[in-house]
Amino acid sequence: MKELSVRLNGNPVGKLGQTINGKMTFTYERGAANAISLNMPIREESYGEIECEAFFGGLLPESDATKRAIGMRYGISHHNTFALLKAIGYDCAGAISFHHLEEAVQLTKSVPLEGKTISEQELYEHIQALPKKPLFMGFEGLRLSLAGVHDKAAVCLIDNKIALPKHGCPTTHILKPAAPGLQNIVENEYFCLKLGAEMGLTTPSVEIRQIKDTSFLLIERYDRKIIDNEVERIHQEDFCQALGVVSIKKYQSEGGPGFKEVFNLLSNTTQPAIDRNKLAAALVFNYLIGNMDAHGKNFSLLYKPNSQITLAPFYDLLCTRIYPALTDKMAMKIGNKYEADQVLPRHWEQLCHEIDYAYPALKKLIKKQGEAILFLLKNSSELTQGINQNFIAKLSMQLERHIDKTLNRLEKS
């Protein structure tokens, strides 16, 4: 049996094992005070491969090419979740980290904010190398992991300058450059995050930065807290992890969660009614902006230090419908429809019945958000400052057409 020490905020919480036949197990330490996942409550018996792959595998990048590059760098199989976490699992989403059993235990919850500031030229070279060196792998001994499909990296922001972490410092920001073939995706996500905030959604702080011909998003991590130059991890898990669903099945059509499952999940939060309303607002917003990729891994629960469980800020908000190469099928169906243009008032009613939500309240929310977005598209220059205006005009046309159709259908019901 191979084993890794699994730590929560630096404290050992359990051991991740790999048997001789390659299967994973997880066993909580005696006296463990906090569970790592809703799907893996504290118990004496070990958890097996199915639960382990859903939670621990959900911490890794989803791209096969990214995993293959990591595997080649460390001489391991890119299918081996245990080996990948051993290689890069020091800084993961939430407060989880992976260590050798004999590695010294972190004595405090927080770690000094320390990093090596890198020049613009170095950063530019690192970004260009992302496809071959994902997550800035190999630079300054970085061992970090981020879930998701597209190339990105985790960094520290020190004195407003981008730095690579040192001496075990957790990363504080996520750097997301443009994805190949998806024109203006940086501006798209920035605009939609800002628009979501205007709609009252809780979203992370974000800015666009530019180096030479490369633009990228710099997103503040909501699973980190910085006080007096000390960084503390805050535990989180995405909805697929919390429901025990492996990443490759994140879409409802492939066995992943639908709105019924994700709304039911919120019964575990400290204030379920408030979080249900927040999730309903995000559901409507994603529909109105044409975000077809709002699957179970794009929503998370946040475990705050005061033992409160809350719905995490919303992320990965963007209009995917503007890209012809991407699917026009929603990640979670509304009623019995995956096609956004086929959703009628009766399908919204069907959804409300499934999630136990009042249809008049949801109908009012759709109308309120739709009208507010249409107003902002015409009257808020602040949202589009510094963004390619031709792209914004194209995006606005896409949103206006979809929202007008949606509101017209509602008026007739």
Active-site positions read: 293
CB atoms within 10 A of CB 411: 9
Q: 401-408: long-range contacts (C-beta < 8 A, 24 or more apart)?
A: 402/288, 402/290, 402/321, 402/340, 403/288, 403/370, 403/373, 403/374, 404/374, 405/341, 406/287, 406/288, 406/343, 406/366, 406/370, 407/366, 407/367, 407/370, 407/371
Cα separation, 101 vs 15, whole angstroms: 9
What sign has the CA pseudo-torsion 40, 146, 264, 354? negative
Measured CA to CA in angstroms, residue 214 lies from 26, 193, 207, 390 at distances of 42, 20, 14, 18
Q: 215-218: long-range contacts (C-beta < 8 A, 24 or more apart)?
A: 215/177, 215/178, 215/186, 215/187, 216/127, 216/175, 216/176, 216/177, 216/178, 216/186, 217/174, 217/175, 217/176, 217/177, 217/186, 217/189, 217/190, 218/157, 218/162, 218/173, 218/174, 218/175
